Amino acid sequence: MDHTQRLHQAADIDGAYAWTRLATSVLLATIGGAGMWAVVVVLPAVQVEFGVDRADASLPYTATMLGFAFGNVVIGRLIDSIGYWRPALLASILLGGGFVLASLTTSIIQLAIVQGVMIGAGSSAMFGPLIADISHWFQRRRGVAVSAAAAGNYLAGALWPIVMPYMMAAQGWRFTYAAVGVVCLVTMVPLVFLLRRRAPLHAASSPNGARPVQPISISPSALQALLIVAGLGCCVAMSMPQVHIVAYCMDLGYGVARGSEMLAIMLAAGVISRMASGFVADRIGGIRTILIGSVLQGLSLLLYIPFDGLASLYVVSAVFGLSQGGIVPCYAIVVREYMPASEAGRRVGIVIMSTIIGMALGGWMSGWIYDMTGSYAAAFLNGIAWNLLNVTVMSLLLWKSSRPAVA
């Protein structure tokens, strides 16, 4: 790369193109985020149609999260070597086609396979890899940019659970799935083509080069391992309301529409939390921001146990969203703070994989606990216990970050 190219890349960082790319990325993530949330909305209808129990009905969601996790790692590695847009194009086609194919399945196992292999893997490009990509285009406002890109996933969670129940009431979940697939194909492919410019990975030698890696008294491998454990713990806890709020409202007699509204409120509040966490992380760092969010998430989970009235559930769901929304994107910020920029796609993908495995495990575990106890109370307590694991790990990392770095 010659000197002129380096100067152009330096000008792009935090520049007009960076903000335009961020806006495009948020829109892409909002549409592609249907891959994660649609299966939550159709869970009760799928359970009834296929005649399975709550744990088996949760299998498509678990498969989606596993595919999502695997995709984050694979596509994360690819963007470090070939850039973002080509893997994202393939993922968009896979996602849209997966929705159409899922609408034709005839068993819970078939649906789970399509959800994992096509929908989960396809939608993964719109989260971890997209966050890693956008992190290269910002320095001064990296926390805000990363959080905004990650907020697209929650905007999807606020949009699709509101729209889909009306379509399902009129035409059923199969027609709704096929329609979502068509929407994804006709909108996401053109958006991906707007992101063809390669990330400025080598701008570090310019006057406006990337921030230096911050010191921490722990090796990169150990830091990666601890972030994996933390991500697993926080997201087992996080999955309880996000995966089962619709089914929980069905059990309480409030119906699918009310549960979908609570999910939408939860995730809309999560958007606010993600944006606020980005501003906070730019000032106090990713580790401290995660720790604050994790403590608040544990407290908000506790509120679900005594408050199960309709009005109070709306409020608690909003509180939960405001508490936990900023946690996951801050893992990417921690990676960028303490690890080399050239490894961002791979490192972020691995950590995001652990969070998604946590969501998958927690979604299934909560359904299993419900089947064993006939109540979600024990599932909420299980989530709180896993959340304490996250708090412990992040407290350790906060202590390590205040000590001299290892050689």
**What residue segments make up the domains of the chain, in order of their start?**
3-401
20-35: pLDDT as tens digits: 999 999 999 999 999 8
> How sure is the predictor about 302, in pLDDT bands with cuts at 50, 70 and 90?
very high
Inform me whether the pLDDT recorded for 208 exceeds 60: no
186-197: pLDDT as tens digits: 999 999 999 999
Percent of the chain with pLDDT over 90: 42
Task: Report the alpha-carbon distance of residue 41 to residue 34 in Å, rounded.
Answer: 10
Task: Report the alpha-carbon distance of residue 356 to residue 228 in Å, rounded.
Answer: 10
| DSSP codes of every residue in 137-156 | T-STTHHHHHHHHHHHHHHH
Inform me whether the pLDDT recorded for 202 exceeds 50: no
> How sure is the predictor about 319, in pLDDT bands with cuts at 50, 70 and 90?
very high
3-state secondary structure 289-355: HHHHHHHHHHHHHHHCCCCCCHHHHHHHHHHHHHHHCCHHHHHHHHHHHHCCHHHHHHHHHHHHHHH
92-147: pLDDT as tens digits: 999 999 999 999 999 999 999 999 999 999 999 999 899 989 988 998 888 889 98
Environment class of residue 68 by beta-carbon count within 10 Å: exposed (0-12), middle (13-18) or buried (19+)? buried
Ramachandran angles phi, psi of 404, nearest 5°: -60, 145
164-178: pLDDT as tens digits: 988 998 999 999 999
154-166: pLDDT as tens digits: 888 778 888 898 8
Q: Region 240-263: what's the mean pLDDT? A: 85
Task: Report the alpha-carbon distance of residue 258 to residue 246 in Å, rounded.
Answer: 8
Q: Which two tokens stand for residue 120?
A: 């989960």
Task: Name, in order, each residue with C-beta under 8 angstroms of 171's C-beta and a sequence gap of 6 or more.
Answer: none
The amino acid at 197: R
Residues in the chain: 407
> How sure is the predictor about 211, in pLDDT bands with cuts at 50, 70 and 90?
low
User: What is the CATH number that goes with domain 3-401?
Assistant: 1.20.1250.20
The amino acid at 12: D
Inform me whether the pLDDT recorded for 352 exceeds 90: no
Q: Region 234-254: what's the mean pLDDT? A: 87
| Among the ranges given (50-54, 330-334, 387-391), the one the predictor scored with the smallest mean pLDDT | 50-54
